[in-house]
Structure 1
Amino acid sequence: MMTAQNVQQWLESSLGQYLIEHEYRYYDQVVANIFGYNAVQIGWSQFDFLRLNRMPLRFFVGLESEASLRAEAGFLPIQTNSMDLVILPHTLDFNVNPHQILREVHRILIPEGHLVVSGFNPFSLWGIGRHLKSMRREFPWNGDFIALSRLKDWLKLLDFEMAGGRLCCYAPPFKQEKWRRRLSFMEAAGDRWWPISGGVYFLHAIKHMHGMRIIKPDWKKCLDAKKKMAPIARKIIKVSKQDRSSNNPNQISDLNKSR
């Protein structure tokens, strides 16, 4: 059975440090140029991937002891439309309901908020370990690796727009560092010759909201037009019975003129 201690031991191993080094390299580059007020990292709280971000509030959510807020990634006690940046370092790879996590991320992000995701690529030399009986129970091959194309489809359904990304870790996941060094040329050639076969991918997306524009009547113009309409008073002249019965033609002519 995989425990938190086993996971931490793997992350502290030579192969684990090789992975974390690439993770830091990408997150440091991307989050440093994202501005706002609130940023949160969900998962892997023992690693500060927000260290170069300059937002005033940065905190960590997870079940690790280092987390600022201990909570499940799929049920975040965070206010709706309150976060400018959310990062998910391999959070989707080790959760039974990644769709729920993405829905929660969409909920807490402000419009035009940023999401940065990292995950293991199943179509790579790293993904082969999931199919080997001797490795598939070990971390990280016990996870459910999500294909990059599938993740993009999920994000598009939530109205996220792709803003960037890359792949890394092209060398085979050998535990011995000497073997990884001998194959270090694969890192330099990976982006050029086999760009889709990197062991780890990163994806940067932005949340968009398709809102309505409410058309209101121009009350000011209506009021101005109403002010210009001056009512015309109608002059009403009361004629007594005596005047009506009078045969004075001059008087009758004056009455007609007044009307």
Structure 2
Amino acid sequence: MNGAASEKSIIDLDGWLQSPAGEYVRAWEQRCLDELTADIFGFNAVQIGLPQIDTLAANRMPNKWQAATMSSSVQQLALAPGGRQIAVALDFADLPFASQSLDLVVLPHVLEFASEPHQVLREVERVLIPEGQLIICGFNPASLWGVRQGLGRITGHHYLPIAGEFISMPRMKDWLKLLNLGVTRSHFGCYAPPCRSSVWLNRFAFMERAGDRWWPYLGAVYMVHAIKRVKGMTLIGPAWNKKSAAANQAVPATNRK
């Protein structure tokens, strides 16, 4: 992200996350991310943006980074929890990591506020190892919150951050497919109506279970879990199996007992 517009996008999102609706979203995303990342193994994991959420809290990799832009304030950088190291990038479309060096990348609400979301995805694909994993968080335009935001563009009373360009789940899957990032799982949450008070949001908490069962694709927020597929790669058995088989074939039949 770069430029005044991108900096304004970051400020808008940061401020919104402190609202009752923002806290509601953060709580759901933290629970879902803890469940998703707990069993992802490797050595190097990176969270890009949004230090208000510790997306790698439940992950057990030895090396974890928080990637932040130069426009991020010192206070935001200090928010990086869990003892993660800070990796400062001039632009999320130009990450300071070597190619094929990361096992896991998490993008919490980055693409919808990026000036070049396609380039950000291409950069993530570059730094992921083969079979590396990617988790994306985004606002779902096909939800009650998305409809409320659409009306806000007409009335001038917005519910979600005004600077965001929200990406639908089918569109996101198409982008990932073009980069050989195969989607393995997707999750939706935050089914409560777009209320502005925490009291009313909590009153509609029962809709989380109902939404998962009856209208699972209409949650206000989604997560996409994808794996980097490399064409031509096939999983093979341990090398000793092949050596053992070759040795057996080389032994003359008359010498076998």
What range is the shorter-chain TM-score in?
A: 0.7 to 0.9
- 1:212 and 1:179 map into 2 onto residues whose CA distance is 51
How big is the shift at 1:212?
7.3
- For residues 19-34 of structure 1, the aligned pairs below 5 Å read 19-34=25-40
Aligned CA RMSD, in angstroms, stands at 2.0
Are residues 1:61 and 2:67 paired?
yes
CA shift for structure 1 position 70: 2.0
- SS of the aligned residue for 2:142 comes to coil
Corresponding residue for 1:147? Answer: 168
Q: Does 1:200 align with 2:218?
A: no
Deviation at 1:180, TM superposition (A): 1.7
User: How far, CA to CA, are the matches of 2:12 and 2:225 in structure 1?
Assistant: 30
The answer (yes or no) to whether the contact 1:89–1:118 under 8 Å persists in 2 is: yes
Which whole-Å CA distance do the structure 2 matches of 1:113 and 1:4 have between them?
Answer: 27
Asked whether the 8 Å contact 1:127–1:141 carries over to 2, the reply is: no
Specify the SS of the correspondent of 1:44. Answer: coil
Query: How many Å apart are 1:90 and its aligned residue?
Result: 0.7
Identify which range, 181-190 or 141-150, moves more after superposition: 181-190
Q: Distance in 1 between matches of 2:12 and 2:125?
A: 32
Equivalent in the alignment of 2:209: 188
Residue deviations 1:199-229 (CA, integer Å, cap 9, x gap): 000010000101379xxxxxxxxxxxxxxxx
Matched, 1:48 2:31: no
Partners of 1:208 and 1:150 lie apart in 2 by 19
Q: Once the two structures are superposed, what CA deviation does each residue of 1:55-94 show, in whole Å capped at 9, x if it has no partner?
A: 1110011223316122111111210000000000011111
CA contact (8 A) 2:135 2:224 kept: yes
Taking every aligned residue pair, what percent have the same amino acid on both sides? Answer: 46
Any conservation in 1 of the 2:12–2:163 contact (CA below 8 Å)?
no
The question of whether the paired residues in 1 share the 8 Å contact of 2:9 and 2:163 is answered with: no
Hey, what's the Cα distance between the residues in 1 that align with 2:191 and 2:202?
A: 12
Query: Does the residue aligned with 1:210 lie in a helix, a strand or coil?
Result: coil
Residues 154-165 of structure 1: matches in 2 within 5 Å? Answer: 154-165=175-186
How far is 1:8 from its partner?
3.0
Name the CA distance, whole Å, in 2 between partners of 1:91 and 1:4.
9
Task: Return the index of the structure with the highest Cα Rg.
Answer: 1
Q: Shift of the alpha carbon at 1:130?
A: 2.8
- Which secondary structure does the structure 2 equivalent of 1:165 belong to? strand
Partner of 2:146: 127
User: Which one of the candidate residues 118, 125, 134 is aligned to 1:115?
Assistant: 134
Aligned in 2, Cα 1:9/1:212: closer, same or farther, shift over 3 Å? closer
Equivalent residue for 1:99, pick from 91, 109, 118:
118
Aligned counterpart, 1:234: none
The letter for the 2-side match of 1:31 is: T
Report which structure shows greater RCO (CA 8 Å, sep ≥6).
2
Amino acid at match of 1:84: D
2:105 corresponds, among 86, 91, 109, to 86
Question: How many aligned positions are there?
Answer: 212
Q: Mind listing any 5+ residue stretches in structure 1 that lack a counterpart?
A: 214-259
Residue aligned with 2:31, SS: helix
Give the structure 2 partner of residue 171 of structure 1.
192
Q: Residues of 1 paired with 2:88 and 2:29: CA distance? A: 23
The amino acid that maps onto 1:25 is R
Query: In 2, are the aligned partners of 1:130 and 1:142 still within 8 Å (CA)?
Result: no
TM-score, normalised via structure 2 length:
0.77
- In structure 2, how many angstroms separate the alpha carbons of the residues matched to 1:101 and 1:5? 19
The residue type paired with residue 91 of structure 1 is: V
Aligned with 2:88 (options 61, 70, 73): 70
SS in 2 for 1:195: coil
Query: What's the CA shift for 1:181?
Result: 2.7
Q: Deviations over 1:151-172 (max 9, x none)?
A: 1011111111112121000111
Equivalent AA in structure 1 for residue 50 of structure 2: W
